[in-house]
């Protein structure tokens, strides 16, 4: 193995410590406590775990956490009314509606009801447009976490060849926009890309966000490249016993680590950065709402 392992868990801990320090300063110097509201509709078990974890970490960095739960059969109008209340509440600086929503709700209508200035997920159409045009946006948390790790490793990303595998609205597209903003030459590869291995082999920076377990192997990677694996896939692991599973990324870690210069593991790579960046975004939203300078080192 030659690659340096990028420790996302440790990195996320540092981001949370920076957030906590700046939250403490906001309180001491301005009497302001950032607040994050998380809305969960229904009882999806994975979503419940995420929401609990978000609430716990929000409190740990010194912010106020507001949790709102609606039953799975709630009317969309009830959710929109709740969002109107949260938009109007000055104690709430960030709003996150946990996805997926029940089938009878329209995700776009719900997301676009959030005040863009409080849209800490960066999914509102205004934030998508602001990011694409290089203006001050709220940036989606997972790509923001990836960008922080890449800047930490490379310093300047200017002129580097970046390939993003996957074109989702949540990761692939905003990731490509952020890399472009940092002056990379950006390619988005996807399921219809021809000679995708050759495309990937050109990358100084390879970001995998396709949701296909271990699709990208060492042969696809340029020697010395930085590989960021956003995938979280649960696959059967009969070697661990009957019915057991394990988590893998979109990158085949063992072969990729022989070739790459640096690589994020799964678990313990990108995953922990997402919630840390949600907290960073909440702090950023709070500073902007109060006309204060942006928190240092925590924005795109």
Residues designated as active site: 54, 98, 121
Q: Which of 99, 130, 196, 232 binds ligand GUN (CB under 6 A)?
A: 99
264 binds ligand GUN (CB under 6 A): no
C-alpha atoms less than 13 angstroms from C-alpha of 214 in its C-beta half-sphere: 11
3, 86, 113, 121: which one contacts ligand GUN (CB under 6 A)? 121
The least CB distance from residue 102 to ligand GUN, in Å, is 14
Spatial contact of 207 and 162, defined as CB atoms under 8 Å apart: yes
Give CB contacts under 8 A, 24+ apart, made by 75-84: 76/104, 76/105, 76/106, 76/109, 76/110, 79/39, 79/41, 79/105, 79/110, 80/109, 80/110, 80/113, 82/39, 83/39, 83/110, 83/113, 83/114, 84/113
Subset of 141-160 contacting ligand GUN (CB under 6 A): 141
**Footprint (CB under 6 A) of ligand GUN, residues 55-74:** none
Please choose, out of 19-27, 91-99, 158-166, 200-208, the segment that lies near ligand GUN by the rule CB under 6 A: 91-99
The smaller minimum CB distance to ligand GUN, of residues 137 and 141, is found at 141
> What's the min distance (Å) between Cβ of 48 and ligand GUN?
12
Count of positions on this chain that bind ligand GUN (CB under 6 A): 6
Smallest gap from Cβ 144 to ligand GUN, in A, equals 11
Strands 233-236 and 245-248, how do they pair? antiparallel
CB of 152 to ligand GUN, least distance (A): 21
Q: Which residue is nearest to ligand GUN (CB)?
A: 99
Within its chain, how far is the Cα of 34 from the centroid?
20
What is residue 59's three-state secondary structure? helix
**Count of residues making up the chain:** 300
Residues whose CB falls within 8 Å of the CB of residue 299, separated by 6 or more in sequence, listed in order: 139, 280, 284
Is 232 a binding residue for ligand GUN by CB under 6 A? The answer is no
Of 96, 137, 148, 208, which lies in the binding site for ligand GUN, with binding defined by CB under 6 A? 96
Q: Which stretch binds ligand GUN (CB under 6 A): 17-25, 94-102, 217-225, 288-296?
A: 94-102
97 binds ligand GUN (CB under 6 A): yes
Please tell me the distance from the alpha carbon of residue 262 to that of residue 153, in angstroms, as a whole number: 9
Q: Which residues bind ligand GUN (CB under 6 A)?
A: 96-99, 121, 141
């Amino acid at each position: 193995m030659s690659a340096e392992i990028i420790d996302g868990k440790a990195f996320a801990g540092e981001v949370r410590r920076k957030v906590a320090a700046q939250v403490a300063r906001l309180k001491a110097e301005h009497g302001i406590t950032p607040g994050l509201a998380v809305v969960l509709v229904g009882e999806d078990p994975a979503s419940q775990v995420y929401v609990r974890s978000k609430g716990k970490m929000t409190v740990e960095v010194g912010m106020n956490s507001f949790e709102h739960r609606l039953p799975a059969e709630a009317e969309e109008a009830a959710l929109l009314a709740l969002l109107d209340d949260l938009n109007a509440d000055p104690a709430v600086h960030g709003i996150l509606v946990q996805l997926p929503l029940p089938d009878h709700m329209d995700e776009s209508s719900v997301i676009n009801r959030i005040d863009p200035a409080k849209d800490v997920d960066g999914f509102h159409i205004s934030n998508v447009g602001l990011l694409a045009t290089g203006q001050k946006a709220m940036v989606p948390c997972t790509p923001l976490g990836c960008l922080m790790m890449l800047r930490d490793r490379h310093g300047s990303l200017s002129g580097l060849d970046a390939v993003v595998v996957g074109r989702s609205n949540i990761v692939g597209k905003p990731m490509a926009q952020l890399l472009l903003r940092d002056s990379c030459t950006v390619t988005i590869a996807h399921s219809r890309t021809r000679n995708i291995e050759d495309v990937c082999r050109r990358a100084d920076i390879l970001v995998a966000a396709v949701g296909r377990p271990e699709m990208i192997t060492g042969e696809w990677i340029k020697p010395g490249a930085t590989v960021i694996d956003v995938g979280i896939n649960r696959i059967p692991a009969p070697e661990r016993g009957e019915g057991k599973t394990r988590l893998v990324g979109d990158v085949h870690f063992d072969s990729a680590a022989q070739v790459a210069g640096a690589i994020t593991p799964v678990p313990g790579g990108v995953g922990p950065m997402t919630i840390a960046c949600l907290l960073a975004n909440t702090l950023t939203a709070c500073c902007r709402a109060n006309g204060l300078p942006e928190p240092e080192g925590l924005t795109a």
